[in-house]
Amino acid sequence: MNKKIIIANWKMNPATGKEAEKLFKDINKSVSLLKLKNTEVVICPPVIYLENFKKISLGRSRTGEAKKIMLGAQNIFPGDVGAYTGEVSVKMLQSLGVKYVILGHSERRAMGESNVVINKKIKAVLSLGLTPVLCIGENERDENHEYFNIVNTQIAECLSGISKNSLARVIIAYEPVWSISTTLNHKDATPVDSKEMVIFIRKIISNIYSPQIAKEVKVIYGGSVNEKNVSEFLINGGVSGALVGGASLNQKKFGDIIKICETLNN
C-alpha cells in the first residue's frame, strides 16, 4: 500500500533552540509510541535546528528504535558552493540528514521567487536524490476561474524539463493561499475544493507526461490542516497526505493528525 505522508512546515518557528528541541523530542516520542506502518512523518524546521535534530534521531536509532521522523528543509539554493551570501546548498542540507525539501511555498513566492527559479531548485534537489515538495496554489478564487490557469502555469513552468522518472519522486502540495492560517481574512477550504483541484492537477500531469504518471504522482493538501479537519481531507479531498503549518507547532495537535492519518490508512 502507498504510505500517506504528513509534513510539518515549522516556518520560522519556534524562537529558540531549546523550544525546538523540546517540540522535536515530544513529537518523536508520540510518533515512536504510534509504531507507524502506513504514515511517513517529515519535519521541516528552520535550518539552524537541523544538526541537533539529526543527532537526536541518530541517538534514538542507536538504542534500537527505528528512525521514525524524516528531516526536511524549507528552501535550498541551486548551486554547490560559491559567492551566494546567505544561501545553503542541497549538499549541505543532505549532510544534515535532510531527505525532503519544500519548494515554491507561497510565502517564498511572495518574496519574489518565480516558477523559473523554483524549477532550478527542483532539479538541484532531484539531482542529489532528495524529494522536492512542490507547493502550488492560487491566491484567490475568482469568479472567472482564472485560478485554474494560475495552477496550470505553476505546474508547467515548475516541472519544465523534469523527466518522467524524476517526477515519480516529486510530491505536489496543493496549498490555496487563501486557506493558509496566517493569510489575512483566510477562509477554510473544503475537501471538495481540494478534490476538484487534485483532479485538475492530475489532468495537467497527464497532458504533460502520461495518464499512468498522473495517477501515480503524490498530491497532498495544505492550508489550515488540523486534527479536526485532516480526516475529511484524507477521505474526501483526493490527497495522500498533508502539509501542516500552525498545527505542527503543537505536539498534541500534530500527534493527533499523525494518529488519524495512520488509523485511516490501516
Q: What are the CA-CA distances from residue 198 to residues 65, 145, 175, 262 (Å)?
A: 36, 15, 11, 21
* Contact region with ligand PGA (CB under 6 A), list: 73-81, 156-164, 188-196, 219-227: 219-227
Which residues are known to be catalytic? 105, 175
- The residue among 103, 105, 45, 36 whose CA lies nearest residue 71 is 45
Q: Which is nearer to ligand PGA, 101 or 247 (CB)?
A: 247
Q: Does 245 bind ligand PGA (CB under 6 A)?
A: yes
Residue nearest to ligand PGA (CB): 245
Q: Which is nearer to ligand PGA, 198 or 214 (CB)?
A: 198
From CA 193, how far away is CA 81, in angstroms rounded? Answer: 42
Q: How far is the CB of 181 from ligand PGA (least distance, A)?
A: 3
Task: For the segment 169-208, give every residue that binds ligand PGA (CB under 6 A).
Answer: 175, 180-182
Q: Does 9 bind ligand PGA (CB under 6 A)?
A: yes
> Are 9 and 46 within 8 A, CB to CB?
no
Q: Which is nearer to ligand PGA, 171 or 225 (CB)?
A: 225
Amino acid at 130: L
Chain position carrying cell 497532498: 220
Nine cell digits for residue 189: 477550504
Amino acid at 112: G
* 8 contacts: CB under 8 Å, gap ≥ 6: 27, 41, 42, 43, 44, 244, 248, 254
Q: Which is nearer to ligand PGA, 166 or 181 (CB)?
A: 181
Question: In this chain, which of 45, 176, 222, 255 binds ligand PGA, going by CB under 6 A?
Answer: 222
* Contact region with ligand PGA (CB under 6 A), list: 113-121, 138-146, 244-252, 255-263: 244-252
Nine cell digits for residue 88: 545553503
Q: Does 244 bind ligand PGA (CB under 6 A)?
A: yes
Positions touching ligand PGA (CB under 6 A) are 9, 175, 180-182, 222-225, 243-247
